[in-house]
Structure 1
Amino acid sequence: MEVYLDNNATTKVDEKVFEEMKPFFCEVYGNPNSLHSFASKSHSKMVEALDYLYDGIGAADEDDIIITSNATEANNWVVKSVWLDKILDGDKNHIITSEVEHPAITAACNFLETKGVEVTYLNVNAEGVLEAKVVEDAIKDDTALVSIMWANNETGKLFPIKEIGEICKAKGVLFHSDATQAIGKVTVDVQDANVDLMSFSAHKFHGPKGVGGLYIKKGVELTPHMHGGNQMDGRRAGTVDVASMIGMGKAMHLATNTMAIAYEKNHVGMLRDKLERAILKLPDTIVIGGTGNRTPNTTLISIKGVEGESMLWDLNQNGIGASTGSACASEELEANPVMNAFGSDSELAHTGIRFSLSRFNTEEQIDYAIKHITDAVHRLRNISSSYAYTPKNHHSEL
């Protein structure tokens, strides 16, 4: 059996999404910006896809949603455009973000630091959440941007986006949120949350890879990301990947309706909790950040005495895919940065395993995963030089 439990890294494309995309490769292939009938067939479907995107995140008609290649592109665009618009051409020189952001934000901010920009990286509390008051206290007269993720990609912890948005609005500071790990798992409403800018990627909610979006609130100005044409209101030139855009729209529609969110919360949450409870029956295991206030599909568990990479190797031999953290940093063998941010000791920071589920997981798969995770823990602890293994620590039933 194969069991995929790494859905925060990427998700399978829903077959309904694939079917929606297929005609736009070889049958309906006109450039949507042309004036002939070939173009109109593409254009009408693109409008439908955009409607799905607007509805999915609660955007107003006068707002913009710009199609990008992914959230990494959108994140970089926001950070670097703020540098161009408000720092180089303005009187501000300060950006606020958190220590647990996706590398697309932190690396872009690191780059701006080399250009003389002051960046404040706020730490999370013991539960892995950034408190709104901490953001408020960090804002200064020259703060140009606050960028805080909606949900953490490793722990699933939800941040107080609405409260932070209200603070930024009151202080006149631009507020951006990376909602890549939130869409399709919890309700995302950009108007209710007071965000000015928001990034997302289709492949995190069962859409195709290579396409994402940037929500831009009416009145927010960003330097165009690419020049050369009038596509996307002149903000991102270039012929749109029609098939991928249509696929993203369909995936958004399937993932964000009321029934879909309820299914994610109840069915997926139940499977996640079953898996988590079983692992926690093993001694010396903890959920990093605790079990409250998080997306229903994610758990980051530290298993003392078991190196994360060794655990993944064992699981992979039995057809189970999981992760030690962000896939964008998976080739790094350094300690998990999120666990370091929580203040975990050096040993625990190497032992985090992230399991992230989707609506395509089944209870049979979870039962299979529980058995092999348990076997792997016993085997690896038995040969570990850092963990005192005794027979009484062995749980034969979970």
Structure 2
Amino acid sequence: MPYFDHAATTPIRPEVISEMTTILEQVYGNPSSIHRNGRTAHETLEKSRQTIARQLQVKANEIVFTSGGTEGDNMAIIGTAFARQHEGKHLITTNVEHPAVLNTMNYLESQGFEVTYLPVNKVGQITPQQLKKALRADTILVSVMYANNETGVIFPIEEIGEILADYPATFHTDAVQVYGKIPLNPKAANIDLLSISAHKINGPKGVGFLYQKEGVKLAKILHGGSQEEKRRAGTENLAGIVGMASAIDFLTEEQQQINWEVYQQFHTYLLERLNQEGIQFEVNGDVEHHLPHILNLRFFGVPSNLLLMHLDLQGIAISTGSACSAGDVEPSHVLEAMYGKDHQSLKESIRISFGYRNTQDEVVMLADTLIATVKRLKKDSSE
């Protein structure tokens, strides 16, 4: 079954499964135990931490293991808010963030914090000037995603980092969707906190990490043991962490560049085919600043739920938006922020996302099936 929903989750590489199986069978000690089994587990844990730190060009002690992107976002946002609330209670984010950020901000509003939500324009983009204008003397945190999970729009993170270099606010970015797609250097971008999830990079679910720049203070949100240098309580998911590090090993700068070019080819081919066939469609999002593996398309006059269902029946997996809200009947909050609450795009848009194991033949099949299905649904609706 051709799978084009890699922005939701990705298949685990067989090499990663093999590494994890070895750990589950042979390295079963608790990394906090002092006997030989524990020491072996601890050494394995730290080796994985070093692998991740090396790729990000940061210190190993700046990597905190988590259960995934949601926990990383919560740690960064709630942790900063409570640690710095004596300095101010103003937070800044955008209105198209992942629910892990938006719902966390909503929670903090109930705790007396004030949140400014930067609105995106019609192509789902913000400007550094918007952020600069929103900054106040009591702003303690700015949280802006690196790239949007529904549209693939890349935000001006480096420019925001430059602005915040001269400002005391902590800078967090949810980089879940962009990690492994382009080389990241949080120090160069002046990022203080950066959250990642392994299952978006062909690693296991239920594991991730938070980059916490040395010196950045966070209040604890989990209380228990002294794991992760007393920053995140709970016995580490060693097999998952090793699996994540193994997946990261495959994401060299060279491989990321190769992937980018392949996904861009898929992206371009699909758009060209749709244009050649005279399909009425438009791309949702900033076409100048986007991740090539994500393509959010509106097909005029074609309900997205019907299109998804018909493609699924023909063995092709796509999405109508974020997997974290796919079970909801509510329309995409991202498209709503771009177009308005009652815009028809909210009912006529799908997300296609490419990834590991997708081939040109599969993309040709996707184009053929998509075009035929759209034409059939359009014809049915006009009769």
TM-score (ref. length: structure 1): 0.92
CA deviations over 1:328-367 (Å, ceiling 9, x no partner): 0101222222122112562112111100000310011111
Partner in structure 1 of residue 345 of structure 2: 348
Contact 1:31 1:239 in 2 (8 A): yes
Contact 2:202 2:356 in 1 (8 A): no
In structure 1, stretches of 5+ residues that fail to align are: 390-398
Taking a change above 3 Å as real, the CA distance of residues 363 and 342 of structure 1, as seen in their structure-2 partners, is same
Contact 1:174 1:196 in 2 (8 A): yes
Q: C-alpha distance in 1, partners of 2:221/2:111?
A: 19
Partner in structure 2 of residue 128 of structure 1: 124
Partner in structure 2 of residue 82 of structure 1: 80
Tell me which amino acid in the other structure corresponds to 2:370. Answer: I
Contact 1:276 1:299 in 2 (8 A): no
Contact 1:185 1:296 in 2 (8 A): no
Q: C-alpha distance in 2, partners of 1:7/1:245?
A: 20
Q: Give 1:368 deviation, angstroms.
A: 1.0
Tell me which amino acid in the other structure corresponds to 2:328. Answer: E
Among 361, 364, 376, the alignment partner of 1:364 is 361
Superposed counterparts of 1:371-390, under 5 Å: 371-384=368-381
Task: Please tell me the root mean square deviation across aligned C-alpha atoms, in Å.
Answer: 1.5
Q: C-alpha distance in 2, partners of 1:109/1:228?
A: 24
* 1:241 corresponds to 2:246: no
Contact 2:16 2:243 in 1 (8 A): yes
CA deviations over 1:130-149 (Å, ceiling 9, x no partner): 11110111011111110000
- Residue 271 of structure 1 aligns to a residue whose secondary structure is helix
CA deviations over 1:199-258 (Å, ceiling 9, x no partner): 010000000000011110010010123222221000111211110010111111212x12
Q: C-alpha distance in 2, partners of 1:31/1:276?
A: 51
Partner in structure 2 of residue 252 of structure 1: 248
Q: Give 1:15 deviation, angstroms.
A: 0.9
Number of aligned residue pairs: 381
* 1:263 corresponds to 2:262: no
Q: C-alpha distance in 1, partners of 2:225/2:279?
A: 60
Partner in structure 2 of residue 392 of structure 1: none
Contact 1:186 1:295 in 2 (8 A): no
Tell me which amino acid in the other structure corresponds to 2:304. Answer: G
Among 265, 269, 273, the alignment partner of 1:278 is 273
Partner in structure 1 of residue 95 of structure 2: 99
Among 201, 207, 232, the alignment partner of 2:228 is 232
Q: Give 1:290 deviation, angstroms.
A: 4.0
Partner in structure 1 of residue 34 of structure 2: 35
- Residue 3 of structure 1 aligns to a residue whose secondary structure is coil
Taking a change above 3 Å as real, the CA distance of residues 91 and 38 of structure 1, as seen in their structure-2 partners, is closer
Q: C-alpha distance in 1, partners of 2:166/2:316?
A: 47
Q: C-alpha distance in 2, partners of 1:168/1:290?
A: 24
Tell me which amino acid in the other structure corresponds to 1:7. Answer: H
Q: C-alpha distance in 1, partners of 2:69/2:305?
A: 27
- Residue 299 of structure 1 aligns to a residue whose secondary structure is strand
Q: C-alpha distance in 1, partners of 2:313/2:63?
A: 42
Q: Give 1:260 deviation, angstroms.
A: 1.3
Q: C-alpha distance in 1, partners of 2:286/2:231?
A: 41
Superposed counterparts of 1:1-398, under 5 Å: 2-61=1-60, 63-87=61-85, 90-255=86-251, 257-281=252-276, 282-343=278-339, 346-384=343-381
Q: C-alpha distance in 2, partners of 1:261/1:277?
A: 24
CA deviations over 1:269-300 (Å, ceiling 9, x no partner): 21222123223443320111242221121110
CA deviations over 1:313-342 (Å, ceiling 9, x no partner): 000001111111100010122222212211
Q: C-alpha distance in 2, partners of 1:38/1:169?
A: 44
Q: C-alpha distance in 2, partners of 1:279/1:224?
A: 50
Contact 1:308 1:350 in 2 (8 A): yes
- Residue 327 of structure 1 aligns to a residue whose secondary structure is coil
Contact 1:264 1:296 in 2 (8 A): no
Q: C-alpha distance in 2, partners of 1:301/1:237?
A: 42
Contact 1:227 1:235 in 2 (8 A): no
Q: C-alpha distance in 1, partners of 2:15/2:97?
A: 32
Q: C-alpha distance in 2, partners of 1:157/1:377?
A: 25
Tell me which amino acid in the other structure corresponds to 1:58. Answer: Q
Contact 1:153 1:181 in 2 (8 A): yes
Contact 2:10 2:356 in 1 (8 A): no
Q: C-alpha distance in 2, partners of 1:247/1:58?
A: 20
Q: Give 1:54 deviation, angstroms.
A: 0.7
Question: For structure 1, which segment, 262-271 or 209-218, has the greater mean C-alpha deviation from structure 2 after superposition?
Answer: 262-271
TM-score (ref. length: structure 2): 0.96
